[in-house]
Every structure is written in C-alpha cells, then in structure tokens.
C-alpha cells in the first residue's frame, strides 16, 4: 500500500496506521470481523502472529510494551472476555510504549454467539476508548491511540463494529509522520517494580494513579479531543458515536450533530454545551444505551432509541425511524440462504453418526456449530470457545448412567488449542464415574474465520513452518486413558464402532478425527510443499528466495 489516498476497509486502515506508527509486534486471535487487521499488517511488512487465544495475545503484547516496543493486539468482541483477566490489571501498570487493543464488536451477530457491547469493558477496566466512524478515522484514531497510550502510559482500546471493519472509504495517510511515530521507540527493558508487579502494596497506589490519569484524559478530551460538531438546525441535536454518526449524517443532514471520538472518558462539558443549544437531544449509538445512560447520570436530558432498535445493527433507515418515533414493527428481512456445513466437508459424516447414535452432543464454536442444523441436528449445547468439554463433563456428572453414556464433547482443532486444553485437564483431574469421550474434529486450519493457522497446524501466520502441537501426544501426556486417531470417511462404520466401544467404558477417551478442510486443502498442500522445498534447498537458494 502506498501513502497516497486509497480505498481501505477499517481493518486495513488500522493495519496501515500501525505500520506508520512503528508498531513492532501485532498479535491476536482470528475472529470475524477483526481477522483482516493482522493479515494486512503482515502483508504490509509488519511482524504479526496468531496466538493460541486472546488472553495469551494480550499477555504477549504486555511483555512487548514492557520491553519498550509499540504493540497492536486484535480480537473480536467475545475474545475480550478471554483476555479480561490481564486487561484489568494492565490498566494499573505503567507501560513503557504504546499498546492499542482492538475490540471488533459484531452487532447483529453476523458470526457470533452474542451481541456483546464492549464499551462496558472500557468503563469497567478504566481504559480510554476510541470509536471511529469510518476508515479515515480508523487510521487517525489508531495513531491517536498510540499518542494517548504513551502520554498516560495506559493501554488504549479501539472499538470498531462490523460495518466499519468491512466497509471501505477513502483514507488519506498523513504526509509526514507524526512526532515519534515514524519509528517506534527502541525496545529496551527498564526495571520498575512498583509499576509492573501488582501485589496489593503496589496495586493500591496504582489504582489511585489510574483514576488521576482518567481525570486528566477527560479534561484533555473536553479541551482538544477528537470530537466534531456539524452545524444544523437546533430543533434537533444528535449525539452519535462510531458508525451511528455516519448514519445520522445521512438520515438527518439538517440536524446539528456532535460526534464523539474518545467515548471514554466522555467530554461531558462539550456535550453539556452542545445540548444547551438544542431543543431536542437524541443519542444515536449501536448496541446498549451506554452513552445515553452516561448523559442522564450527568444530568443531561436526552432521548435514546426504543428498545426494539437495541438488537442488530443500526442502519440509515432505522435511524430515520428512531428520529420519527416510529415503533411499529420493522419489515421482515428477506430470507437468505441458511448456513450449512460445506458440501464435501469430511466431517459431515461425523455428525451423521452422532445423530444416528442418538448421542447428547456438547458442541463448540466454529463451523462445526452448523452440525446443529438440519439435516444433522446433532448438537445439544454451544456456549463459548472451548466450553464443549467442560459442559460435557458437567452433563456426565449429573445425568443417570444410561443418559450420561450418550454424552460426547465435540470441538474443532483451533478451538481446542484456544481453550479446550484446560477442559482436557479437568477431564483427567475430575473424571465422571462413566468416563467421557472428547472428539476433536481436526481439519488443519481455523476454518470459520478464513483459514488461519494455529499451533496445531505447524505453520505461522504467514504460513511458514514452525513448531506444532500434536493433539494425540498431548492427550497421552496429560493422562487421557484412550487416545485414537482416525483418518477416514465416517460412512465406513469405523467411527461408529469406535464410539460404541468407548461409550461403554468408564474411562477418559479422546478421538482425533483428522481430515483437511475441503476449502483449505489445496493451500495446505502448497504450504507443505513450499516448506519441504525450503528444507531441501541449499543455503544460497534460501537466501535468494
């Protein structure tokens, strides 16, 4: 990508800004709609890597900034739940370099299990949050986030939503690097125990420092924060954040509009002044009424959206309805093609076997979740990443024996690495009386998010060969009694026979059903051939490559 004006998605704009900010490491876990950020950062020449899960990604990011390197950490909204433990304490530490954490929220649940609004996390963890409305602001706010992070030595959250992530608008990169952004600070470790070791003796004063920082940032936000007023008729004043600001400009161009870029801590005096000049004040925000509640708590009277618009994405049409006070039922969306497991997916047969055996299936996140739909309907629970093993164990513990012996946990390979490992430890440590059976459907990729690599594939983010976790060896080392690897089409009866046998045993069992993703298989063969060619090439050829 050049530095001339260019058409970019929000994800691409963040990646470009990270390069321009001199970010030395990008780390994260793939998840729609955030996945393209690190992939683009890698294509632009940045150092990017996938972590086993979001908690590890943030911990690696913290280590990098403790070492004085600007770092970018990316994840989708539910991933922040996994990373929440280090996040809250990270707010107490004094960072040696800028750390920007991107939370890509998915209102409308295009590919998620809930509509979580991660603005709550910024407030709960006491961290500044920026919300861009388009790709240009995604670029600008990423740079600004590093400025804020390094000025106050805090992680800064950048919240984007699906429409900003994937829609494209013109981005004009800065002609000249901003101060300190052409090249990030040189890494180097400076010992600062009270600022980095959060035992109570150091955490208590750190919490007071954090509150002082937030007060300073709030004052800065009022004085020179990224907030804009669009002049209009004072009869209706709109306050909007993120993509809702774009919808507001299109739906009500005649109204005066205040857009807020740094949405935590809020510029309350700016808002109060704006509100005083409006006859009617309406808050437009996607997701929960976070901004509306904050205004009302501050004594600023404002209208919000009716409850029916709390669900799903906002659109221009919905904003028009909100402003008109229209609470009639919305037109039903056109019926689309229902999702389904890919034709030719090697694991369709697994769900046919589980259905025909009348198993109670504790399922997991990923494309295998589609096993719940017809014609399979072979899944009974799905909660979050990695939950299938724990949920399956819970069912085993309490159900009558006859039903308990029907319970099987099903999990994908990337999900198993993400958060299934601890479930396996629980199975070994607290085995149910009837034992348990875990089935890893290993398709050699993170299929649902676009075929990304993970520690079980043996390839890095850019598909170079690296170390690999072998699930069967790992399970044996952890103490699982029966470990089996199957590589077959389920129609031949092998899986059914094996399951029938294991379900009768009062032991712990793991089956790794290994078949490459039908969509990723050609690429996997290409990567493996390239790796083999490199391993046999003479050193001069490798250098020439």
pTM across the whole model: 0.91
pLDDT value of position 336 = 77
pLDDT value of position 535 = 77
Class of domain 6-181+194-224: alpha beta
Q: How far apart are CA 454 and CA 468, in angstroms?
A: 9
pLDDT reading at 315 higher than 60: yes
pLDDT value of position 184 = 67
Q: How far apart are CA 514 and CA 485, in angstroms?
A: 7
Q: How far apart are CA 193 and CA 199, in angstroms?
A: 10
Report the mean per-residue pLDDT for the chain.
Answer: 92
Mean pLDDT of 217-227: 97
pLDDT value of position 2 = 56
Share of the chain above pLDDT 70, in %: 95
Q: How far apart are CA 70 and CA 183, in angstroms?
A: 10
Tokens of 334: 């056109």
Q: How far apart are CA 96 and CA 76, in angstroms?
A: 26
Instruction: Find residue 72's DSSP bridge partners.
Output: 26, 100
CATH 3.40.50.920 residue ranges of the chain are 227-324
Q: What is the DSSP string of 472-506?
A: HHHHHHHT-SEEEEE-S-GGGSHHHHHHHHHHHSS
Class of domain 227-324: alpha beta
pLDDT value of position 175 = 65
pLDDT value of position 216 = 98
CATH 3.40.50.970 residue ranges of the chain are 6-181+194-224, 346-531
Q: How far apart are CA 168 and CA 278, in angstroms?
A: 33
Closest C-alpha to 346, from 439, 447, 440, 443: 443
Q: How far apart are CA 426 and CA 83, in angstroms?
A: 21
What does the pLDDT look like over 495-509, one tens digit per residue?
999 999 999 999 999
What does the pLDDT look like over 425-458, one tens digit per residue?
999 999 999 999 999 999 999 988 889 999 999 9
Q: What is the DSSP string of 46-99?
A: --EEE-SSHHHHHHHHHHHHHTT--EEEEEETTHHHHHHHHHHHHTTS--SS-E
Tokens of 204: 């208590």
Homologous superfamily in CATH for domain 346-531: Thiamin diphosphate (ThDP)-binding fold, Pyr/PP domains (3.40.50.970)
pLDDT reading at 302 higher than 60: yes
543 pLDDT band, cuts 50/70/90, is: very low
Distance of CA 406 to the CA centre of its chain: 33
pLDDT reading at 359 higher than 60: yes
pLDDT reading at 545 higher than 50: no
Q: In terms of C-beta density within 10 A (0-12 exposed, 13-18 middle, 19 or more buried), how is residue 355 classed? A: middle
């Amino acid at each position: 990508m050049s530095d001339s004006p260019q058409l970019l998605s929000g994800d691409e704009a963040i990646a470009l800004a990270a390069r321009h900010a001199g970010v030395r490491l990008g780390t994260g876990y793939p998840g729609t709609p955030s996945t393209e950020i690190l992939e683009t950062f890698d294509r632009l020449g940045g150092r990017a890597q996938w972590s086993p899960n979001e908690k590890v990604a943030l911990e690696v990011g913290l280590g990098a900034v403790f070492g004085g390197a600007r770092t970018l950490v990316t994840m989708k909204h539910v991933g922040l739940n996994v990373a929440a433990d280090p996040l809250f304490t990270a707010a107490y530490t004094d960072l040696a370099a800028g750390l920007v954490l991107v939370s890509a929220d998915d209102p409308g649940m295009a590919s998620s299990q809930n509509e979580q609004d991660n603005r709550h996390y910024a407030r709960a963890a006491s961290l500044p949050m920026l919300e861009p409305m388009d790709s240009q602001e995604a670029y600008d706010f990423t740079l600004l986030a590093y400025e804020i992070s390094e000025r106050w030595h805090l992680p800064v959250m950048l919240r984007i939503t699906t429409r900003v992530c994937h829609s494209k608008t013109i981005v004009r990169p800065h002609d000249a690097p901003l101060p300190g952004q052409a090249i990030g600070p040189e890494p180097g470790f400076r010992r600062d125990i009270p600022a980095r070791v959060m035992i109570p003796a150091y955490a208590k004063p750190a919490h007071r420092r954090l509150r002082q920082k937030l007060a300073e940032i709030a004052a800065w936000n009022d004085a020179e924060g990224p907030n804009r007023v669009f002049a209009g008729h004072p009869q209706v004043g709109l306050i909007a954040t993120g993509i809702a600001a774009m919808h507001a400009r299109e739906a009500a161009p005649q109204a005066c509009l205040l857009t807020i870029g740094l949405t935590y801590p809020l510029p309350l005096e700016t808002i109060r002044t704006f509100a005083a000049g409006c006859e009617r004040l309406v808050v437009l925000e996607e997701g929960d009424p976070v901004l509306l509640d904050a205004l009302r708590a501050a004594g600023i009277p404002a209208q919000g959206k009716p409850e029916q618009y709390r669900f799903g994405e906002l659109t221009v049409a919905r904003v028009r309805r909100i402003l008109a006070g229209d609470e009639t039922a919305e037109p039903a969306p056109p019926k689309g093609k229902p999702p389904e497991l890919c034709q030719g997916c090697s694991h369709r047969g697994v769900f046919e076997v589980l259905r025909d055996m009348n198993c109670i299936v504790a399922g997991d996140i990923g494309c295998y979740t589609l096993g719940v739909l017809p014609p399979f309907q072979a899944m009974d629970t799905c909660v979050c990443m990695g939950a299938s093993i724990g949920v399956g164990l819970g069912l085993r513990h309490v159900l009558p024996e006859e039903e308990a012996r029907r319970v099987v946990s099903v999990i994908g390979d990337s999900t198993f690495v993400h958060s299934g490992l601890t479930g396996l430890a629980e199975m070994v440590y607290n085995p149910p009386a009837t034992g348990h059976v875990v089935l890893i459907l290993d398709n050699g990729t993170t299929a649902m998010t676009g075929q990304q690599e993970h520690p079980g594939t043996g390839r890095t983010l850019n598909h170079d060969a690296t170390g690999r976790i072998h699930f069967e060896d790992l399970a044996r080392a952890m103490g699982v009694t029966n470990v089996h690897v199957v590589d077959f089409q389920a129609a031949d009866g092998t899986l059914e026979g094996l399951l029938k046998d294991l379900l009768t045993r009062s032991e712990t069992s793991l089956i790794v059903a290994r078949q490459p993703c039908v969509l990723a298989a050609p690429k996997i063969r290409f990567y493996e051939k390239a790796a083999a060619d490199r391993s046999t090439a003479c050193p001069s050829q490798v250098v020439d490559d």
